[in-house]
Structure 1
Amino acid sequence: MGLLDTITAALAASSSSTNRGDGRGESKGAYWCHDCEERLLDLDVEGDDPPACPACDEPMTFERSPGSTGCAC
Structure 2
Amino acid sequence: MGIVSTIEDALTGRTEKSADESGPESTGAYWCDDCGVRIRDVEVAAEGLDHDDEGTPQCPDCGDAMRFERSHADGCAC
Structure 1 length-normalised TM: 0.67
Structure number, greater radius of gyration: 1
Unaligned ranges ≥5, structure 1: none
Could you say which structure has the higher helix fraction?
A: 2
Q: After TM superposition, what 4+ stretches of structure 1 lie above 3 angstroms from structure 2?
A: 18-22
**Structure 1 contact 30–39 (Cα < 8 Å) conserved:** yes
Unaligned ranges ≥5, structure 2: 46-50
RMSD of aligned C-alpha atoms?
2.9
1:69 to 55, 60, 75: 75
1:55 to 35, 53, 61: 61
Report sequence identity in percent.
Answer: 32
Alignment partners' CA distance in 1, 2:17 and 2:31: 22
Q: How many residues are aligned here?
A: 66
